Structure 1
């Protein structure tokens, strides 16, 4: 919890223990922390540099904790000041960058990023640095889009995923988490490429095939970027919205579909098989088939295609 002010786990534990004791000898504190004495001494010296601990005049090797209300408040105040200065510097640099980039040279419109670490870092940088919108095409193949995605508050996230993504071991869980974070997700049979576009001014696409050393192209505002934006919008329009859980507003006891029915229906409309739906929702295959049959009876239809149209008309799933 105190990592934001420069303490690692061991140093925070040492400070907490010292606060609880008020004062302690180094060997006693080391025993309490189950740490070697030299490591405990290093942690105390670090706390001393941060103004969180001091050597006691009662004797050598005895330390006292600084009052948290005073010491931590001072550190937090300094952190806030430094953050404000960093934000000001970022704003000034942004203005300077925009002024210089008004007429960029052709060779400055693209960047080539190589190496798995560099590609992953640039990918997350684009997402976290966006202030308005992030558009993503997500494949089921390993790449720079693998791993947890973080939705920035106040930023609109639109994501198109391949159907294969939902079949991955954690596919449904990650999609549910993304929907809970406010991301809008659509599903299609296949996307043409991995892609992320931030604020309509930067885009990132892979350069290498799966299995080769990762490399990606970062595209700045240009005709190429406009083409990539057009590609995303075309794929978005042709994809089906994904909704997990309640997507309409059914009333309890009105005889309409329950939340599990709607999850089953949404996944089936996304193209998953009965078996895949059963596996990812941890239901029996016969349970899924029974629920589909019940939905068809409720809708008064005889085919699954008719059920899909009825579901859209009744607002059970999003258009």
Structure 2
């Protein structure tokens, strides 16, 4: 528990033992710790350098513990100051990096990372670097580099970072995958499922993406993409897959998940569609149904997202294909 202030398990055990007995000599403390006397003495010297122990005055060979409140409090304060300085240095470096990246060259927009450890570390850095939203496509048998759950997800979720994750259905067939999904849903991440994702992908804040380059048989490699047309394409790919995927929800058990069919249009949505297909404008539809104009536009936008289309003409075609409206539409009142 005291590793954060520079004490390993042996030093912490020595300090705890010394606190419990008040004072002890090296042989007695060594027996209590089940350590050799030389190792015990080295531990005491280390505690002395940290201000946690001192040799008793007037009694050679006796050691006493420093009061934990004062001694540990001083170390914690020092640690906080060091962390504050490190955070300030990180902010300065980030500002320098952003200033240099205002007019990036073509070579600065792409970064190739090779090696399993380097790829895994870069995925982790991209995810933990997000401040608003993480979007991920997770393939079956994922090694966790762009995945769900785990310490990175907990840390990002704890900072209020939103998550949208699409997983392959194969992930649901593995206990490890189900565990990660349950943990992600428990953190209120939004998770959807499809039969197959086109690629593993991770996007942070819409400003940085990382995608694998090689197959499992080759040396692992990944491409880090900064703000560019390629990043916009990757973001569009994610959004297209997200629209087609089915939502996942926690099941009755804590470690089970289930798919949910996408919500369809309600009666008001169907009335709006029928009137629009009859040729009415948004304003006329709003007046006819006694709705606000923004309400009509918001409902139409939701229906377009639900069907995965980008134009109202496509929405009308999908409405007929899905039998949301009949060929004969309601005639507006004059």
TM over 0.5: yes
- 1:80-122: CA deviations, max 9, x gaps? 1111112212222212111110001111111111111111111
SS in 2 for 1:51: coil
Runs of 4+ in 1 over 6 A off after TM superposition: none
TM-score, length-scaled by structure 1: 0.74
**Deviation at residue 29 of structure 1 after TM alignment:** 1.7
CA contact (8 A) 2:247 2:259 kept: no
CA contact (8 A) 2:193 2:259 kept: no
CA contact (8 A) 2:133 2:161 kept: yes
Which residue in 1 is equivalent to 2:77?
77
**What's the RMSD between the two structures over aligned residues?**
2.3
Gaps of 5+ in 1: 246-258, 271-319
Distance 1:145 1:29, change over 3 A: farther
**Deviation at residue 142 of structure 1 after TM alignment:** 4.1
Max Rg structure: 2
CA contact (8 A) 2:17 2:29 kept: yes
Which residue in 2 is equivalent to 1:174?
180
Could you tell me which of 200, 225, 249 is aligned with 1:219? Answer: 225
Gaps of 5+ in 2: 263-334
Which residue in 1 is equivalent to 2:153?
150
**Deviation at residue 44 of structure 1 after TM alignment:** 2.0
- 1:263-286: CA deviations, max 9, x gaps? 67x24869xxxxxxxxxxxxxxxx
CA contact (8 A) 1:142 1:210 kept: no
Which residue in 2 is equivalent to 1:27?
27
- 1:22-71: CA deviations, max 9, x gaps? 12122222222222333322322222222112222344443211111001
SS in 2 for 1:236: helix
Q: Distance in 2 between matches of 1:89 and 1:96?
A: 11
Which residue in 2 is equivalent to 1:55?
55
**Count of residues in Structure 1 that have an aligned counterpart in Structure 2:** 256
Q: Distance in 2 between matches of 1:42 and 1:200?
A: 52
Q: Distance in 2 between matches of 1:216 and 1:183?
A: 25
Which residue in 2 is equivalent to 1:311?
none
